[in-house]
Structure 1
Amino acid sequence: MAQLAMTSARWGELTALLNDEQRLQAEYPKVAEYLDAAGGLSGTGDVEADGAFDLRFVHYMTGGSAVSPNPYWDIVEPFVFEHEGRRVVNGGRAEGSARLAFAQMILQATYAYAVPSPQTIDWMSSFCADLPIMELGAGRGYWAAQLARSGLVVEAYDLEPPDKAKNLSFLGVAGQADVWHPVGDLDEFAACARAADHVLFLCWPPGWGDKMSSEALTSFEKAGGERLIYIGEPKGGKTGNDAFFDALSARWKLDSVDPHFVSWWTEADVAQGWVRS
């Protein structure tokens, strides 16, 4: 595992923070929560690797955009391994670990459910060509921020933008950004969206029968939209509803699949590019 490069000044900042339990709890409660629990949870069995992961977690979670434009990826990258033809965050163990699962829960709520590796961002850029992206269900706008940084034009919208409303999936917490990219609400979407000349991007749309994915796709079709990026699980999984997948089967063609997509080992999500058939 590659060593984390850090300046002596940053080492000093982290040392002072970790030596002040009250300050850590007040300024970065999720980091404090992880550190309190981690010692009692089973890891990968490699003490050095687990310790290196903890250091990356603390460094990037407390440093935010000041230390990395993509802290989520910088935290998990060394724990990405090939498993049964997929790239997964599992620490080199097929069953992962309880410690990594606890970190996953915090990281998904802090950033996004899906992991935006640089290779996936490149794949999306290639699929979109010069078309702008319209993301619905953008959450904190973390993916939108990575896409915008790559040079794409991105409009991001959510029913409950975390910086404007209470979003149960992305609650406001001290020490972390509410949003990474401007996220408009559905009123702003209705007023500004020009669907036909955009690529629709759905990243982990809610499942369990929720109509958001199918309604978004139907509206996009009616507006003349022709390209869709879907990141989520297959039909019957945690994302999308049956009507969404039925519509894809009936009226769309799978054009591209990202072979380098990175998933948590607990998830079955994929990155797909669809075009109207």
Structure 2
Amino acid sequence: MGTQLELSQARRQELVELLDDPGRMEAESPLLARYLEIAPHLAGTGNDEVDAAFELRILHFMSSRGAEEDPYWSIVAPLVSSTDGRRVLNGGSPTGSARLAFAQTILQEAFAFAVPSPETVSWIATVADGARVVEVGAGRGYWANRLHARGVEVVAFDADPPDVAVNPSFSASGAQPRTWHPVEGMERFRHLIADGSDSVLFLCWPPGWGNSMASDMLRDFEQSGGSKLLFVGEPQGGKTANDQFFSALSESWDLKSTDDEFVSWWNLADGAQFWVRRA
């Protein structure tokens, strides 16, 4: 878990020069700059080797100008451990750490709220079974990027695509791409979803706390003839989706598959589910 990242001497020198130039850091990697400003004041996991290895990974991959194919997973994969039958990101500490909790918010803003592990991406490819995946609320399009790389046909939409609109959940990213896959506005979604019978609706961390986005999208998808749903989020009463969404699932949909290999942060209860509408 604490395995050191193998970097060339030239790359290490680049990182030293970046750390020595706060102005450049802020301009090129504002999220990384925010992390490095706050993280040293927060408690780690108690394992210095794990913490140091994580610091190097987040520094390297978040300042690499998008050259890494899957920087999110590259940063967090060594943190995975098994707890109560779940794969969680906790750095080997059952209670994680304050520093990891802060890193979690930075990485969610930089990439995605949920973690698209290779196993989960493969699971989605299997259950989608060749159908087009339509992701709504795609944010930076990071999940769409990973699905596309896996060979899944995917289109992504968001009310505020971060590359063309102000999105409070995904601020300026500096050297990192603003979007990792083309993310279109909702106007195009309304046109595309006129017939949803050949598509799988994908909702990844739709907003909770009474926000109607999840139930609205599910209703529109049902009305278009759609019958397959991928949901990544927390159970009812958690941080994702609204009560009407979960009620609609109970009334008209059957849970067909869950991803047993899903990777979550230790302090979240999210998972991945595949639902099919009853005939």
TM-score between both structures, scaled by the size of structure 1: 0.96
Aligned equivalent of 1:162: 162
Aligned equivalent of 1:106: 106
Question: For 1:29 and 1:160, how far apart are their aligned partners in 2?
Answer: 20
1:65 is paired with a residue of what secondary structure? coil
Q: 1:85 to 1:248 in 2, by over 3 A?
A: same
Matches within 5 A, 1:105-124: 105-124=105-124
Instruction: Give CA deviations for 1:77-117 in whole Å, capped at 9, x if unaligned.
Output: 11111111111111111111011011011000110000000
1:140, CA displacement in angstroms?
A: 0.6
Aligned equivalent of 2:82: 82
Query: Once structures 1 and 2 are overlaid, which stretch shifts more, 134-143 or 16-25?
Result: 16-25
Query: Once structures 1 and 2 are overlaid, which stretch shifts more, 24-33 or 175-184?
Result: 24-33
Matches within 5 A, 1:135-214: 135-193=135-193, 194-214=195-215
Q: Answer whether contact 2:35 2:102 (CA < 8 A) is retained.
A: yes
1:15, CA displacement in angstroms?
A: 2.1
1:202 is paired with a residue of what secondary structure? strand
Q: Answer whether contact 1:231 1:270 (CA < 8 A) is retained.
A: yes
Name the aligned partner's letter for residue 172 of structure 2.
G
Question: For 1:53 and 1:5, how far apart are their aligned partners in 2?
Answer: 13
Query: Once structures 1 and 2 are overlaid, which stretch shifts more, 73-82 or 19-28?
Result: 19-28
Q: Answer whether contact 1:90 1:100 (CA < 8 A) is retained.
A: yes
Q: Answer whether contact 2:158 2:183 (CA < 8 A) is retained.
A: yes
Aligned equivalent of 2:45: 44
1:35 aligned to 2:36? Answer: yes
Matches within 5 A, 1:15-30: 15-30=16-31
Q: Answer whether contact 2:66 2:176 (CA < 8 A) is retained.
A: no
2:140 is paired with a residue of what secondary structure? coil
1:177, CA displacement in angstroms?
A: 1.7
Question: For 1:172 and 1:195, how far apart are their aligned partners in 2?
Answer: 33
Matches within 5 A, 1:201-240: 201-240=202-241
Identity level (%) = 51
Question: For 1:62 and 1:94, how far apart are their aligned partners in 2?
Answer: 29
Aligned equivalent of 1:58: 59
Name the aligned partner's letter for residue 104 of structure 2.
Q
Question: For 2:217 and 2:9, how far apart are their aligned partners in 1?
Answer: 49
Name the aligned partner's letter for residue 220 of structure 1.
F
Question: For 2:216 and 2:37, how far apart are their aligned partners in 1?
Answer: 42
1:190, CA displacement in angstroms?
A: 1.6
Aligned equivalent of 1:73: 73
How many matched pairs?
276
Query: Once structures 1 and 2 are overlaid, which stretch shifts more, 218-227 or 171-180?
Result: 171-180
Q: Answer whether contact 1:134 1:195 (CA < 8 A) is retained.
A: no
1:134, CA displacement in angstroms?
A: 0.3
Name the aligned partner's letter for residue 32 of structure 2.
V
Q: Answer whether contact 2:30 2:172 (CA < 8 A) is retained.
A: no
Question: For 1:178 and 1:108, how far apart are their aligned partners in 2?
Answer: 13
Aligned equivalent of 1:245: 246
Runs of 5+ unmatched residues, structure 1: none
1:174, CA displacement in angstroms?
A: 2.2
1:64, CA displacement in angstroms?
A: 4.1
Q: Answer whether contact 2:133 2:154 (CA < 8 A) is retained.
A: yes
- Runs ≥4 residues deviating over 6 A: none
Q: 1:64 to 1:253 in 2, by over 3 A?
A: farther
1:31, CA displacement in angstroms?
A: 1.4
Question: For 2:95 and 2:36, how far apart are their aligned partners in 1?
Answer: 22
Runs of 5+ unmatched residues, structure 2: none
